[in-house]
Copies of this chain bind each other. A is one copy, B any other.
Amino acid sequence: MALWIQISPGSDKPIYVQIVEQISEAVAKNELATGDKLPAVRKLAAELVINPNTVARAYTVLEQAKLVTTKTGSGTFVSDPKLYSRDAADINMLAERMDTLITRGLNLGLKGGDLAAMFRDRTNKFVGKQKGEEKKK
């Protein structure tokens, strides 16, 4: 598989965050499936011309987010979503971030209904390829 990750030096986001986001999105869209192996730390670092530590940090974040499982000596693999044990803290974090987003949307003059509709539309763009579902023909 070709390398889809690419970092933007001009971005305001740290390199390791860029990696985390791109992999997270790929998993959400099921472009990376359960059990898929991520590039080796040193290999990805070489391709991106960055320090291996930076890639390792990204992988650490992904593991703490329960998105991947690492087996030392073997590699880093996409976790099985069925094993996600989302606790209250996860949901609370999500709710908080939603509120911040809603606040911003309302302050931009959008109506609550429009905001919710926009969110649902964007969700559908993901769900088309979501885990356990298939796009309807």
Chain A: residues with CB nearer than 8 A to chain B?
Answer: 21, 24-25, 27-28, 65, 67, 81-82, 84, 86, 90-91, 94-95, 97-113, 115-116, 118-120, 122-124, 126-127, 130-131, 133
The verdict on A94 contacting B116 (CB below 8 Å), with A99-B122, A101-B101, A126-B103 known, is no
28 intermolecular pairs with C-beta atoms under 8 Å apart: A21-B100, A24-B104, A25-B99, A27-B107, A28-B102, A28-B103, A28-B106, A65-B107, A81-B107, A84-B109, A86-B109, A90-B108, A94-B104, A94-B105, A94-B118, A97-B104, A98-B118, A98-B119, A102-B122, A102-B123, A102-B126, A112-B126, A112-B127, A113-B123, A116-B123, A119-B119, A119-B120, A120-B120
Contacts of A102 in B (CB 8 A): 28, 119, 122-123, 126
Q: With the chains together, A107 CA to B133 CA distance in Å?
A: 14
Contacts of A91 in B (CB 8 A): 108
Query: By the criterion CB–CB under 8 Å, are B103 and A94 in contact?
Result: no
User: A124 contacts which of B94, B95, B112 (Cβ < 8 Å)?
Assistant: B112
Query: By the criterion CB–CB under 8 Å, are A119 and B122 in contact?
Result: no
